A = this chain, B = another copy of it.
Amino acid sequence: MSTLLIVVPASWAEPCKAALAEVAPHLRVLLHDSDAYRAQEIDYVLTFRPPERLLKSLPNLRVVFSLGAGVDGILADPNYPVHIPLVRFVDRTLSREMAQYCVMHVLMHYRMQRFFDRAQAEHAWRQVLLPKSAEDMRVGILGLGEIGTLTAQRLRDLDFDVGGWSRMRRQEPGVQSFAGDGELGAFLARTDILICLLPLTPETRGILSESLFAQLPNGAFVINVARGGHLVDADLVAAIDCGHLSGATLDVFHIEPLPEDHPFWTHPKITVTPHVAAISETRIAAQYVANGIARFERGDPLANLVDLRRRY
């Protein structure tokens, strides 16, 4: 019998354990925070942001499963044991929730919903035409992986002019692909609404900064649904306040929960949501982990392995 150690906050750990008991009755499941265990007992770990050195201390660890789509919280441990395979959480529900969130906030910006919200607050009938047609509204997706591609498809189907940037060129009908550092400038220059869906790595940390914003056209709007670490908070506020950017929607922050006195909460052109664009469901994650372990123990290759050199 193999043993999985769950290393996530208590509110997630108990439901994960209960879900695993249903879908993988032969798996022994322990909770890092509340169960006693010996390091050598652990075969697998399910985690999001493990304590530093914990993973390295498990001598018989075979696979690490991430509870989130991003693995930056796991690789934040400088002692991550690089010989142990790390599996990202890739799930259709997670991807489409993220795509829904992006579609909604692109539409809210394009269709001026905040302008109409203010008008309603003032009991004012302010009928205006949309400033441009959807074909002329250029949405740019920074990070064209599973989630970025699904988001691009949905926005394309709503008639937006969609482009995407990724390290390698992607082939997606109706989506203009920009690849590598050499094409980032051209991608930004044609982007009216920028959606950040990048993995957080040393290369992408702080990418949403003054110098990137300066390459967007005047009036551009920014949506960050990736990680707070992608954004230089002060640069965003400065770019909005000087009138270069028209606003932003942010779901992720350097510190979460976002501190009560952070200027984002009250900025009239910034929408804040509490990291809800896509939340891993414990039931689905449990099934995902159970399937992964079953494949691994049959000797089949693991899907969605992280490239530890690239860190995503």
Task: Answer yes or no: A119 CB below 8 A from chain B CBs.
Answer: yes
User: What B residues does A279 contact at CB under 8 A?
Assistant: 127, 129-130
CA distance A96 to B281 in the complex (A): 33
Asked if A107 is an interface residue, CB under 8 A from chain B, the answer is yes
Q: Could you tell me if B116 and A108 are in contact, using CB atoms closer than 8 angstroms?
A: no
Residues of chain B contacted by A281 (CB below 8 angstroms): 129
Q: Chain A 97-133, CB within 8 Å of chain B: the 1/0 string?
A: 1011101100110110100110110010111111001
Q: Choose one: B126, B128, B261, B274; the contact of A116 (CB below 8 Å).
A: B274
- Asked if residues A100 and B276 are in contact (CB atoms below 8 Å), the reply is no
Within 8 A of B (CB), among A264-293: 265-266, 271-276, 279, 281
State whether A272 touches B120 (Cβ < 8 A). yes
Complex copy number for this chain: 2
Cβ–Cβ contact B157 & A120, under 8 A: no
Q: Is A256 an interface residue (CB 8 A)?
A: yes
Known A-B contacts A111-B100, A154-B158; the reply to A116 vs B276 at CB < 8 A is yes
Q: Given A93-B133, A154-B158, A275–B127 Cβ distance below 8 Å?
A: yes
- Give A206-249 interface residues, CB cut-off 8 Å to B: none
Give the distance in Å from the alpha carbon of A208 to the alpha carbon of B265 in the complex.
Answer: 38
Residue among A103, A119, A261 with max Cβ neighbours from chain B (10 Å) = A103
Whole-angstrom distance from the CB of A1 to the nearest CB of chain B?
32
Q: Considering the chains assembled together, what is the distance between the CA atoms of A266 and B124 in angstroms?
A: 11
Specify which chain B residues have a CB less than 8 angstroms from the CB of A266 in the assembled complex.
Answer: 123
**0/1 interface trace, chain A 155-190, chain B, CB 8 Å (1 if under):** 001110000000000000000000000000000000
| B96 with A158: CB separation less than 8 A | yes
Distance from A165 Cβ to chain B, minimum over Cβ atoms (Å): 24
Docked CA distance A113–B129 (Å): 24
Q: Is A134 an interface residue (CB 8 A)?
A: yes
Q: Which of B96, B107, B123 contacts A100 (CB 8 A)?
A: B107
Interface status of A306 (Cβ within 8 A of chain B): no
Closest chain-B Cβ to A287's Cβ sits at a distance in Å of: 14
The verdict on A307 contacting chain B, using a C-beta distance below 8 Å, is no
Residue of B nearest to A125 (CB): B257
Report A253 CB to chain B, min CB distance, Å.
9
Q: Which residues A34-62 have CB closer than 8 A to chain B?
A: none
Is the Cβ of A96 less than 8 Å from the Cβ of B276?
no
Determine which of B127, B134, B275 lies in contact with A276 in the assembled complex, contact meaning CB atoms within 8 Å. B127
Q: Which residues of B contact A271 (CB under 8 A)?
A: 117, 120
Would you give the shortest CB distance from A21 to chain B, in whole angstroms?
20
In the complex, what residues of B have CB within 8 A of residue A276's CB?
111, 116, 127-128, 130
Q: Which residue of B lies closest to A133 (CB)?
A: B93
Q: How far is the CB of A257 from chain B (nearest CB, A)?
A: 3
- The answer to whether A300 has its CB under 8 Å from any CB of chain B is no
